[in-house]
């Protein structure tokens, strides 16, 4: 039964049970309309209301400034790898990629695939600096594009697979044009949105269910977007309409059929976060949960080795290896027996990964900590 398990998976992630309970009746008969929410027109007044209220909760949580636009899109974080470059390259001439893990690497690869090697500069590549994605190079070592004003910088705030998270906004990017992938740490701490031109996040970790992607962008981007004619004259591709930020903004995210059910779920999750004290509270809770987990792992340095270096360790995805390696399977099986699920590391890196999103309660973390301590006692 649901109350006997805790799911620590990296995404899709677990959602608050209350939200799912309401969702199960909403999908059958929404607010006594006789029609399930997924059957209602995305252009109905009801759907407009859901969009407006979800956007309003997001604006409250992130304190989004007036001159920023919120878009609800589809296609996940991966679609944004392409959308970002289609929309920004044209006005901006070069792209600086900060590669600190598998997801920023994929973002940079897509930029290169769409626009060619010469447009993409890799500012830092943790794999080259540390041998693998386990840290963030000191900013003074970063090789940013020089002699070109129209550059935007892209980074991934939290690398879900590698467990590497920026402790804060990179100082050297202050005042620049910055794009951030916050798919796996959005709504887990306060963010100064005004420092970014674009923030995007797939919903399926800290916001809601798969199928919805949230984009927060500086509205001025919508005005400076070159026309298709200008882009063609520059030899640049014209963005497909579903990736064009101006097209979506003009239609209030309803250029095509948006999954309103997904938007509603995100809205319900966010309403709970607002009621619980907003992001200051989430930040405090997330920090406390992460500290407890790292502390438990740190009590057994002979058995558990946290993969990322101190200073770059994610509060959201805690990546660890057990020694000897056979213990990993033993750990995972024992966890499963206790209803602690989803702890296997990403297939590309292996090991153990504890995803610590907002829906993971402190009580669940305590259960896992207790298991870690018992496991250590038994295997020390």
Q: At 202, is the secondary structure helix, strand, or coil?
A: strand
Decide: is 183 part of the binding site for ligand PMP (CB under 6 A): yes
Q: Between residue 3 and residue 42, which ones bind ligand PMP under the rule CB under 6 A?
A: 11
- Chain positions 214 to 253 lying near ligand PMP, rule: CB under 6 A, are none
> Of the ranges 23-31, 43-51, 76-84, 308-316, which one interacts with ligand PMP (CB under 6 A)?
76-84
Tell whether residue 76 is a contact of ligand PMP (CB under 6 A): yes
Total number of residues shown for the chain: 380
Shortest distance, position 157 Cβ to ligand PMP, whole Å: 8
342 binds ligand PMP (CB under 6 A): no
Q: Contact between 184 and ligand PMP (CB under 6 A)?
A: yes
Q: Which residues contact 107 (CB under 8 A, 6 or more apart)?
A: 81, 84, 97, 154, 156, 181
Residue whose CB is less far from ligand PMP, 86 or 375: 86
List alpha helices for the chain, DSSP H: 17-26, 45-62, 76-88, 102-115, 126-130, 220-224, 228-233, 245-250, 260-275, 278-298, 326-337, 362-379
Rounded to 5°, angle at Cα 377 from 375 and 379:
65
Q: Which of 163, 170, 202, 351 binds ligand PMP (CB under 6 A)?
A: 202
Of 86, 348, 355, 376, nearest to 215 (Cα)? 86
**From residue 241, how far is each of 87, 214, 295 by CA, in Å?**
11, 17, 48
ω into 92 cis (within 30 of 0): no
Residue with tokens 């674009």: 198
Residue closer to ligand PMP by CB (options 183, 358) is: 183
Phi, psi of 152 (to 5 degrees): -115, 150
Cβ distance to ligand PMP smaller for residue 15 or 296: 15
Number of residues that bind ligand PMP (CB under 6 A): 11
Select from 334, 344, 337, 336 the least CA-distant residue to 375. Answer: 334
Choosing from 77, 259, 267, 308, the residue that interacts with ligand PMP (CB under 6 A) is 77
What are the distances in angstroms from CA 275 to CA 20, 188, 279? 17, 15, 10
Site string for ligand PMP, 141-180 (x = CB under 6 A): ---------------x---x--------------------
Please tell me whether residue 78 binds ligand PMP under the rule CB under 6 A: yes
**Between 199 and 300, CB nearer to ligand PMP:** 199
Min dist CB 214 to ligand PMP, Å, is: 11
Nearer to ligand PMP, 69 or 204 (CB): 204
The residue ranges that bind ligand PMP (CB under 6 A) are: 11, 76-78, 103, 156, 160, 181, 183-184, 202
């Amino acid at each position: 039964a649901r109350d006997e398990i805790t799911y620590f998976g990296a995404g899709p992630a677990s959602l608050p049970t209350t939200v799912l309970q309401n969702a199960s009746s909403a999908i059958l008969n929404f607010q006594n309309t006789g029609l399930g929410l997924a059957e209602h027109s995305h252009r109905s007044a009801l759907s407009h209301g859901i969009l407006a209220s979800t956007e309003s909760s997001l604006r409250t949580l992130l304190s989004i400034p007036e001159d920023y636009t919120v878009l609800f899109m589809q296609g996940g974080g991966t679609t944004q790898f392409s959308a970002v470059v289609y929309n920004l390259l044209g006005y901006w001439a070069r792209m600086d990629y900060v590669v600190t893990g598998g997801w920023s690497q994929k973002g940079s690869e897509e930029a290169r695939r769409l626009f060619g090697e010469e447009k993409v500069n890799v500012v830092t590549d943790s794999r080259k600096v540390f041998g693998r994605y386990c840290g963030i190079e000191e900013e003074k070592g970063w090789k940013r594009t020089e002699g070109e004003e129209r550059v935007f910088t892209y980074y991934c705030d939290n690398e879900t697979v590698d467990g590497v998270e920026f402790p804060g906004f990179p100082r050297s990017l202050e005042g620049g044009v910055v794009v951030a992938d916050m798919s796996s740490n959005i709504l887990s701490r306060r963010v100064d949105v005004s420092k970014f031109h674009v923030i995007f996040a797939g919903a399926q970790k800290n916001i809601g269910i798969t199928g919805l992607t949230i984009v927060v962008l500086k509205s001025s981007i919508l005005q400076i977007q070159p026309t298709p004619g200008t882009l063609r004259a520059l030899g640049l591709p014209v963005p497909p309409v579903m990736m064009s930020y101006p097209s979506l903004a003009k239609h209030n995210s309803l250029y095509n059929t948006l999954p309103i059910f997904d938007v509603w779920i995100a809205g319900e999750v966010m309403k709970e976060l607002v009621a619980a004290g907003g992001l200051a509270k989430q930040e405090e809770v997330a920090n406390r949960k992460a500290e407890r987990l790292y502390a438990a792992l740190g009590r057994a340095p002979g058995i558990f080795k946290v993969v990322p270096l101190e200073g770059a360790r994610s509060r959201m995805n805690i990546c660890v290896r057990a020694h000897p390696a056979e213990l990993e399977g033993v750990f995972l099986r024992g966890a499963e027996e206790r209803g602690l699920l989803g702890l296997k590391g990403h297939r590309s890196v292996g090991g153990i990964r504890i995803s610590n999103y907002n829906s993971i309660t402190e009580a669940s973390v305590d259960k896992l900590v207790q298991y870690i301590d018992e496991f250590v006692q038994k295997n020390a």
